[in-house]
């Protein structure tokens, strides 16, 4: 593809989203690289931190733990522990919540696909947000 411009994005180049818990950074998205099929980011959780329960009506979420460990609660009652080197896929419309149950920071790359028709439709919160007063960081839209 001659003339195609491929853009790299560094973790420090993107805004931090703390509204739902932890530190979420979306690196590769419609906003940052004009993706059309999904987005990729990294979640960092300190020991004891969590991302509040939510679901994605349009997307599957792929979660991989590169450092630390997570307790993943699925649909309110199933619990799975993920350690470094392990991952899982959360299907569309499945409620999930992640908590760092370890003693070191958890580093969790994630990918969601396909995209929702509009960014505000892609994420449905099902419990109170730990940092609801933090500004919302958009995933979609133009750069």
User: According to the model, what pLDDT value does residue 49 have?
Assistant: 96
Peptide bond before residue 114 is cis, with ω within 30 degrees of 0? yes
User: According to the model, what pLDDT value does residue 129 have?
Assistant: 83
Cα dist from 127 to 43, 74, 75, whole Å: 19, 13, 12
User: According to the model, what pLDDT value does residue 47 have?
Assistant: 97
Give me the tens of pLDDT residue by residue for the chain, a chain 143 residues long: 566 889 999 999 999 999 899 999 999 999 999 999 999 999 999 999 999 999 999 999 999 999 999 999 999 899 999 999 999 999 999 999 999 999 999 999 999 999 999 988 999 999 988 877 776 666 654 34
Put simply, whether the predicted model's pTM sits higher than 0.95 gets the answer no
Q: What are phi and psi of 136, to 5 degrees?
A: -75, 135
User: According to the model, what pLDDT value does residue 138 have?
Assistant: 63
> CB-hemisphere CA count at 13 Å for 50?
16
User: According to the model, what pLDDT value does residue 107 have?
Assistant: 98
The domains of the chain are located at 13-125
Environment class of 77 (CB within 10 Å of its CB; exposed 0-12, middle 13-18, buried 19+): exposed
The topology (CATH level 3) of 13-125 is Jelly Rolls (2.60.120)
């Amino acid at each position: 593809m001659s003339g195609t411009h491929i853009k790299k994005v560094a973790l420090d180049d993107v805004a931090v989203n703390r509204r739902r818990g932890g530190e979420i950074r979306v690196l590769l998205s419609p906003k940052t690289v004009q993706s059309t099929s999904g987005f990729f980011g990294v979640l960092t959780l300190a020991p004891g931190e969590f991302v509040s329960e939510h679901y994605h009506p349009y997307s599957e979420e792929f979660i991989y733990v590169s450092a630390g460990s997570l307790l993943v609660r699925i649909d309110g009652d199933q619990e799975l522990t993920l350690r470094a080197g392990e991952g899982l896929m959360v299907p569309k419309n499945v409620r999930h919540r992640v908590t760092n149950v370890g003693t070191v920071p958890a580093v969790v790359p994630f990918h969601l696909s396909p995209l929702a028709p509009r960014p505000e439709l892609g994420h449905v919160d099902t419990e109170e947000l730990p940092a609801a007063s933090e500004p919302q960081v958009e995933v979609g839209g133009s750069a």
